[in-house]
Amino acid sequence: MRPRAPVGDDGPAAGGAAPWVFLAPLLIFAVVFFVLPLGFSVWLSFTRWNPLGTPSWVGLRQFEFLLTRDDTFWRTILNTFVFAFGFVAIGVPLALILAFAFSRAKGKAIWRQVYYLPQLTNIVAIAYLWQFVLDDRDGLINRGLAAIGLRGPDWLTDPTMAMISVVLVMIWYDAGKNMLIFSAALEAVDQEIYDAATLDGAGAWRTLRSVTLPIIRPAFTFVTITSFITGMGFFSLILAMTGGGPRGATEVTALYTYRMAFEDLRMGRASAGALILFVIIGLLSLLQFRALRERAQ
């Protein structure tokens, strides 16, 4: 019988340290760029701090002010949910439809790349592009409508239309990414399952409802919840496109806390607002993991 190697520098003890060596860069990155900033932000939320001065401890006063006395904060919370729900309710079905459309189309790889291009484009450039397209007076859409005798809507200056506009642009920006996820899920469905459904006399609609959708449900759940989380925390497009206007109609919570921190220099209050939003997004993340875990069981 071959003798076992002694536990030493060349044995199991040394092998147990090897994974940590490879994980060290990632762990250091996570600590420096996530754990420490998050901890500092949580601490700041209990203080009153202007970067030109010294932080002073105020306990829960920042949270009390935001939750009970700041009407603007609650308005931005409502705007955030409207933006996120609109983004999900239209964007997810659209991405699924695109995935179905391209699954059997000729040149589907090229079409998928075309629809994914917005994800590779700078978000500020996208915002300026759509400002040009949606301009109330000189935009391409309203010029086209005027050419046929119709008056176009005030896309960016009417409060209701401004929210609709940023939601539609966000859908256009994100549709390609979600379409690729759905496409991968559709291509993973075994063709033999479709053949069996056809032999059983199932038509196209019944096959879709009873075979395809149940099989790709994990992908649908993942895309729906992650898209909602993205919508809850996204603000760069709104900042560049409408600046939160008109009259605060598109000002979401993330944008509100950004301005509170870097324009008003109220770092403590901004950290408290960001922490509240973080808790909301965290609860939605737990919902996502629970839904995926239950589906996997």
Report, as an integer, the average pLDDT of 28-47.
91
95 vs 297, residue with greater confidence:
95
- What does DSSP assign to residue 11? S
Integer Cα distance of 164 and 142 in angstroms: 16
The pLDDT-based confidence of 48 (bands split at 50, 70, 90) is very high
The pLDDT-based confidence of 42 (bands split at 50, 70, 90) is very high
Radius of gyration over every alpha carbon of the chain, rounded to an integer in angstroms: 25
Integer Cα distance of 33 and 37 in angstroms: 6
Average pLDDT, the chain: 86
Instruction: Give residues with Cβ within 8 angstroms of 43, minimum separation 6.
Output: none
Adjacent-strand bridge partners of 48:
56
Whole-model pTM?
0.85
The pLDDT-based confidence of 284 (bands split at 50, 70, 90) is confident
Closest of 233, 228, 230, 258 to residue 243, by C-alpha? 258
CA distances from 191 to 12, 186, 196 (A): 46, 10, 9
- What does DSSP assign to residue 3? P
Write out pLDDT tens, residues 167-199: 999 999 998 899 999 988 888 887 777 778 777
Closest of 61, 117, 36 to residue 266, by C-alpha? 61
Closest of 147, 145, 123, 149 to residue 134, by C-alpha? 145
Integer Cα distance of 98 and 182 in angstroms: 9
**For residues 244 and 251, is the Cβ–Cβ distance under 8 A?**
yes
Domains of the chain: 69-296 (1.10.3720.10)
Annotate 50-85 with b (16+ C-beta within 10 A) or e (fewer).
eeeeeeeebeeebbeebeeebeebebbbebbbbbbe
Q: What is the predicted pLDDT for the residue at 267?
A: 93
The pLDDT-based confidence of 6 (bands split at 50, 70, 90) is low
Integer Cα distance of 206 and 245 in angstroms: 45
Write out pLDDT tens, residues 144-163: 998 898 888 999 999 999 99
Integer Cα distance of 152 and 141 in angstroms: 7
Question: Over 70: is that where the pLDDT of 10 sits?
Answer: no
Write out pLDDT tens, residues 201-227: 777 777 777 778 888 888 888 898 889
Closest of 71, 61, 37 to residue 272, by C-alpha? 61
Strand 47-48 to strand 56-57: parallel, antiparallel, or no bridges (unpaired)?
Answer: antiparallel
**For residues 207 and 194, is the Cβ–Cβ distance under 8 A?**
yes
Q: What is the predicted pLDDT for the residue at 5?
A: 52
